[in-house]
Amino acid sequence: MVDSRQSQKNYQVKGLMGPVTIQIDCWGVPHIEAQNIADAFFGQGYAAALMRLWQLDLNHRRQVGKLAEVFGAAFVPFDHVARLLMFRGPIESEWAKLDSKVEGIASAFVAGINARIDQIQADPALLPPEFVALKMTPDRWIKDDLLRCRVSASPNIQGEIRRVMLAQRNALALDTLAHPLEPEWPLTVPAGLDVFKISSDDLKLLNYRVAPLPFDKIVQVAGADQATVAELFQPDIDSRNGSNAWVIGPKHTHTGRAILANDPHLPYSVPSPRMVCHLKAPGLNLIGAGPVWRPGVQFGHNEYIAFGRTDFQIDQEDLYVLEVNAAGTQYQGFKATESIARISEEILVRGQLPVKVDLAFTPLGPIIAEDRQVGRAVVLRAAWLEPGAATNLEYVPKVFATNWDEFRAAIRHAVWGTNYMFADTHGNIGWQSAGRVPVRPNHDGLMPVPAAGDYPWSGILPIESMPGEFNPPRGWIASANQMPFPADWPVAERRISFEWTANDRHRRLVSIFSDMKPNHSITDSWCVQQDIYSGRAKVLVDLLRQTQGGDTTARALLERWEHDIAADSPAAGLYEYWWAYLQREVRSLVVPAHINDLITLVHPHVALAALTNPDSRFGAQPEIKRNALLVLCLDRAYAHLKTLAQTLGTQSDQVIPNWGRLHEMHLKHPLKSKLPGALAELADVKGRGSSGDGSTVYARWWPGIDHHTVTGGSSFRAVIDVGNWWVSMASMGPGQAGSPGDQHYSDLYQPWMDNVPVPLAFHQEQVNELTRSVINLAASSD
């Protein structure tokens, strides 16, 4: 029962079948209880709009292509690409392909969002401050948009273009410098492809699907100042979106129950990329976190199972080069000509007349670039644009699973590549990779192909042909976006992907869990998530011990160090700058000048291998030159840090700054300058230095020596005691709410930074104890 002393509000809203109670706890987590499942998801949509309406609306407008109507002409390309990548097939048949529950849940979720928007329209005082500052209102949602909008972001296409441009310069074999293929695979130009008919220019429009929004170019609004764009960085290869997740079986735990841990990584933002919520109705009791604009949760648990995920980096996209006829109506397919459908749409633009954009579609996919004068076009073929690929709704089916078989059935039709981690109350643990993998019988997907060639997709790889484990003898499973195939994997028959995140985090997890004692606790897993040991640092420092000369103070600092990337460590800061300088120098040695613009980053493992086993690229005496380079870069890094110390400061007994002073957690609100004074002061979440880097288990991305701000990592993490749910631990920063000035906007920042867990309240007694406010929703009689 809810305490009568708690703050309570009562509303009548359209779209409900029965009453819904939303208890918001002291951490800002909404606990939603309804009398039926649809109403519970109505409550989730309502709570999302209540707490994160600006974030919700911004993402919605980006997906449906309606940014320019509120922000102005600079946003037209973002709307253009969103319209181009929208699913254009029959919607009713798409709903029929999904689990029977999903359409009703989607309808209820959208109705909940719109119910809150209706309240705001009736009382504009409820508008979040960003809307007020920009003199705009939120856009109403349409259920079918959850199926039409499918924009996904895979780095594979960028790799295809890099390789074709390397082939133009007779340097295709050097692509391994940027990203070694895993498993090993011969890289060849597809038969029939003219590599000079495609280039990076063909991605100009497509790149807007993931480009940062230009908030500095918002059309001027009377009575408001121009916004300043949040500072953006070029990430290094370690900041490719990744995550850590593991499950530990009962034989290793002190309770005899399974443990599931998950810390997903994304670029940091304010508000954070995910929100925690709890849904309860007959047949459903679910808590977890996920994107605010999707029903269900990505990570969490119900009463029977816990689940987590990391990215399983499937190659889901291909580029096809088309030969188009003079009329622009057909192109040459493998055995026959194929039709091109063309339409025009108007994009509303704030402050000016609408802009017309031309969209073209083929049976392969949308045309992303075209030169009508020479009869050439480029098409994007994507698994997530195929019929049945409901990316916005794929989290829903699994939340109802009660065992391994039901869980695997629920993820069978997943779209986005995912390593799904599983544990249940019976002590079972499992991992199943899932997602749409195109079957390419005649090519490997690593380079563009000519549409006139024999390069079909012949289906989707079934889940039974994808890697996974259930109750392995070792008693634990860990995933950190590494290449997961065993040595005997049939690569030629199952070409899932060849590009994976560098496996440093996974190697560290394997070393930890391989030596695990039989009394592992959730506190132990919580500490593993904070592990900051750097295997790369150890390799480099061991190499340094083989050299002589250089600054003796700098050498001593590193040689006494234990390779932990700690915020309070000057040695960690010195290592990071040393490694940055070494990467630059290694790149200058191994990347020929004529492809310098194509390989802007050398893969970290390639750089380490070059330093560990120097060859003729270092000159006539490679080891001597390597040793000289190690010392030279260390001296440069140390001198650089001594100069920085004059402006950044140091601890009293130090000559150079701690790593945390060079690696600070400042979260910037992109519209800070448009908010009124008091809220503007609260908009940015100003923090302090952080441990970790992009290669440690405790992942905190760093853009390099020219910037001192952490750009990404884990904003939500959890460790779940499977079955004893009430002791589970979580962290979510900086807060649950999205509006500056809200009590839950940044109240979780300090616990998040201090690695202090908060509970994922699941049992009703626990929820009631932590509740601070209650919203009662009742069905409107209208």
SS3 of 630-651: the string is HHHHHHHHHHHHHHHHHHHCCC
Residue with the two structure tokens 């074999």: 173
pLDDT in tens, 327-357: 999 999 999 999 999 999 999 999 999 999 9
- Strand 275-281 to 30-34 pairing: parallel
The burial of 451, by beta-carbon neighbours within 10 Å (0-12 exposed, 13-18 middle, 19 or more buried), is given as buried
pLDDT in tens, 387-428: 999 999 999 999 999 999 999 999 999 999 999 999 999 999
- Please report, as a single letter, which amino acid is at residue 577: Y
Please say if the pLDDT value at position 146 is more than 70.
Answer: yes
Q: What domain range is 596 assigned to?
A: 535-565+568-662
**Residue 324 falls inside a structural domain:** no
Catalytic (active site) residue 673? no
Q: What is the pLDDT of residue 156?
A: 86
> Do 301 and 725 meet the contact criterion of CB atoms below 8 Å apart?
yes
649 within some domain:
yes
Tell me how far apart the alpha carbons of residues 224 and 216 are, in angstroms, rounded to a whole number. Answer: 13
Residue 235 confidence class, pLDDT cut points 50, 70, 90: very low
The beta strand positions in 637-767, using DSSP E, are: 712-714, 716-721, 729-732, 758-759
Q: Which residues pair with 281 in a beta bridge?
A: 284
- Return d(Cα 326, Cα 329) in angstroms, integer: 8
By residue count, the chain amounts to 782
- The CATH code of the domain that includes 599 is 1.10.1400
Quote the pLDDT of residue 233.
32
User: Which residues partner with 332 through β-bridges?
Assistant: 337
Q: Are 149 and 88 in contact (CB under 8 A)?
A: no
**Residue 3: inside a domain:** no
| 652 lies in some domain | yes
Q: Would you say residue 193 lies in a domain?
A: no
Q: Which of 239, 243, 497, 746 is catalytic?
A: 243
Q: What is the mean pLDDT of residues 639-655?
A: 86
Which residues are annotated binding-site positions for Ca(2+)? Answer: 160, 315, 318
Instruction: Centre a 10 Å sphere on the Cβ of residue 135 and count the other Cβ atoms it contains.
Output: 12
Mean pLDDT throughout 689-716? 93
Ranked by mean pLDDT, the top range of 626-635, 640-649, 669-678 is 626-635
pLDDT of 707: 85
φ, ψ of residue 573 in degrees (nearest 5)? -65, -40
In this prediction, residues 531-545 reach a mean pLDDT of 98
Classify the phi-psi angles of 766: left when phi > 0, otherwise alpha if psi is within -120 to 50, otherwise beta.
alpha
CA distance 494 to 473: 26
> Taken in order 317, 322, 327, 329, is the CA torsion positive or negative?
negative
In the prediction, which pLDDT does 706 show?
Answer: 82
- What is the per-residue pLDDT across 577-587, written as a single tens digit (0 to 9) for each? 999 999 999 99
pLDDT band at 153 (very low <50, low <70, confident <90, very high): low
pLDDT for 4 equals 53
Quote the number of domains for the chain: 1
Band (pLDDT 50/70/90 cuts) for residue 5 is low
pLDDT of residue 230: 32
Which parts are annotated binding residues? 160, 315, 318
The predicted pLDDT at position 221 comes to 47
Query: Residue 568 half-sphere exposure, CB side, CA atoms within 13 Å?
Result: 2
In a domain, 494, yes or no: no
DSSP class per residue in 212-264? PP-GGGPPP-TTSPPP-PPP-----GGGSS-EEEEEE-GGGBSSSS-EEEEEE
d(CA 657, CA 588): 28
Give per-residue burial for 38-65: e unless 16+ CB within 10 Å, then b: bbbbbbbbbbbbbbbbbbbbbbbbbbbb
The angle at the Cα of 18, spanning 16 to 23, to the nearest 5 degrees, equals 90
Window from 378-392, 489-503, 645-659 with minimum mean pLDDT: 645-659
Tell me which of 120-134, 214-228, 647-661, 697-711 is least confident.
214-228
Q: Which helix (H) or strand (E) holds 266?
A: strand 259-267
In terms of DSSP H, where are the helices of 595-716? 604-612, 622-648, 677-683
In a domain, 623, yes or no: yes
Mean predicted confidence (pLDDT) in 260-265: 97
Does 101 have pLDDT greater than 60? yes
**pLDDT, position 752:** 95
Strand-pairing partners, residue 685, are 667
Q: What is the sign of the dihedral through the CA atoms of 422, 392, 264 and 414?
A: positive
Summarised one tens digit per residue, pLDDT across range 704-746 is: 888 889 999 999 999 999 999 999 999 999 999 999 999 999 9
For the chain, give the mean pLDDT: 94
- % of the chain residues with pLDDT over 70: 96
Q: What is the DSSP string of 396-456?
A: TGGGG--SHHHHHHHHTT--S-EEEEEEETTS-EEEEEES--B--SS--SSS-EETTSS--
List beta partners, residue 470.
430
- Residue 475: the pLDDT is 98
In a domain, 600, yes or no: yes
β-pairing, 449-450 vs 468-470, is unpaired
Tell me: cis bond preceding 441? Omega within 30 of 0 counts.
no
Position 100 pLDDT exceeds 50:
yes
- β-bridge pairing 429-434 and 418-424: antiparallel
C-beta contacts of 387-390 below 8 A and 24+ residues apart? 387/89, 387/93, 387/94, 387/97, 388/94, 388/97, 388/98, 388/413, 389/87, 389/150, 389/415, 389/436, 390/94, 390/97, 390/98, 390/102, 390/146, 390/147, 390/150, 390/415
Identify whether the C-beta of residue 402 lies closer than 8 Å to the C-beta of residue 306. Answer: no
pLDDT at 239 over 60: no
Tell me, what's the pLDDT at 687?
A: 84
User: Can you give the pLDDT at residue 238?
Assistant: 60
Give 77-91 pLDDT, tens digit per residue: 999 999 999 999 999
